[in-house]
Amino acid sequence: MAVQINLKELSKKEILLSPGHRLCAGCSAPIIAKMVLLAAADYPVVANSPTGCLEVSTCISEYTAWKVPWIHTAFENAGATLSGVETMYRAWKKKGKIDKDVKFIAIGGDGGTYDIGLQSLSGAMERGHDLLYVCYDNGAYMNTGIQRSSATPLGADTTTSPAGTAIPGKVQKRKDLTRIMAAHNIPYTAQASPSHWSDFFKKVKKALEIKGPKFINVISPCNRGWRSRLDDAIQLSRLAVQTCYWPLYEVVEGVTKVTYKPREKKPIEEFLKVQGRFKHLFTPENEWIIKKFQEDIDQEWERLLKEESRDS
């Protein structure tokens, strides 16, 4: 299933998330949402967002940035809400009220996906609804002010896991949601990054061609929460990939394929040192956290490569 991306053709397409939304300067969530909608531009799309940064900033009072039908109902239920929409579509189709091939896409943050919305997402995947769930993972509850989530990486300083004199930031490592979703044995699971746009586009397009539940996890740098520069979202997401903190891979019908292998795996310090949330790790007493961080990454990368060679 080779998917070709033509940049010239893409540039002619309408952007379906309009400017004027109220996301922060330098936020990668709207970049990701626009990329998803652009990659889906061949189809009519119905979108859904759980409560979160993207949701509160794109539809306020009479104003909406969404040029496709879009629904938000609550925080913990994107999977169930979109299940309902998609099921009504099937009811309409059965009765001949609609003949278009509509794609249903949820775009939610890590709080609404990894944590409070996990049950609803898991249910939607298990039931086999024909929908794509895209998580933009910025690694904390950024909308409510940078509280730790189960997507927050080890050692990160957040407002509820502050780096203090007794506890050096978040003491747990992050949940590997992509693997959890792959373990649902759904037809398509992937990890993507806005820095590797071609890879990301291909994954969205590929997912949309497959019937059934699909999940794509996308790294989404947040300069407010990561304490980084306003203009570094793409650079940070690239570093996440190059350090193998955020491996790019897909699991298609149970077969794992790493879609990008850095020629040289950068040390995790490269990713950590440009973020204020990890500043406190660069002290002698917290060095062990960086060491642990690197070990976890190496272990996971090895596991992934092994899984790929097993499947190839």
Footprint of other proteins on this chain (CB under 8 A)? 44, 46, 48, 55-56, 59-62, 64, 66-74, 76-77, 79-92, 94-95, 98, 100, 102, 119-120, 122-123, 126-127
Which pair of structure tokens corresponds to residue 120?
A: 């609803």
39 or 85: CB nearest other proteins = 85
130 or 232: CB nearest other proteins = 130
Distance CA 27, CA 31 (A): 8
Distance CA 128, CA 213 (A): 5
> Residue 45's beta-bridge partner residues?
103
Taking the complex as a whole, the smallest distance from the CB of residue 97 to other proteins amounts, in Å, to 8
With H, G, I as helix, E, B as strand and everything else as coil, classify residue 257.
Answer: strand
Taking the complex as a whole, the smallest distance from the CB of residue 73 to other proteins amounts, in Å, to 5
17 or 31: CB nearest other proteins = 17
197 or 215: CB nearest other proteins = 215
What is the CA 302 to chain-centroid distance, rounded?
22
Q: What is the C-alpha R_g of the chain?
A: 19
89 or 136: CB nearest other proteins = 89
DSSP 278: G
Which pair of structure tokens corresponds to residue 300?
A: 């996971």
Taking the complex as a whole, the smallest distance from the CB of residue 161 to other proteins amounts, in Å, to 27
**Phi-psi category of residue 239: left, alpha or beta, with phi > 0 → left and psi -120 to 50 → alpha:** alpha
29-54 in b/e burial notation, b at 16+ Cβ within 10 A?
A: bbbbbbbbbbbbbebebbbbbbbbbb
Backbone angles phi, psi at 57, to 5 degrees: -100, -10
**Distance spanning both ends of the chain, measured CA to CA:** 16
Taking the complex as a whole, the smallest distance from the CB of residue 7 to other proteins amounts, in Å, to 26
Helix orientation angle between 78-94 and 118-127, rounded to the nearest 10 degrees: 30
Taking the complex as a whole, the smallest distance from the CB of residue 152 to other proteins amounts, in Å, to 25
Taking the complex as a whole, the smallest distance from the CB of residue 90 to other proteins amounts, in Å, to 5
Burial of residue 137, with CB atoms counted within 10 A of its CB: 0-12 exposed, 13-18 middle, 19 or more buried: buried
In contact, 219 and 193? CB cutoff 8 Å: yes
Taking the complex as a whole, the smallest distance from the CB of residue 154 to other proteins amounts, in Å, to 30
89 or 271: CB nearest other proteins = 89
72 or 170: CB nearest other proteins = 72
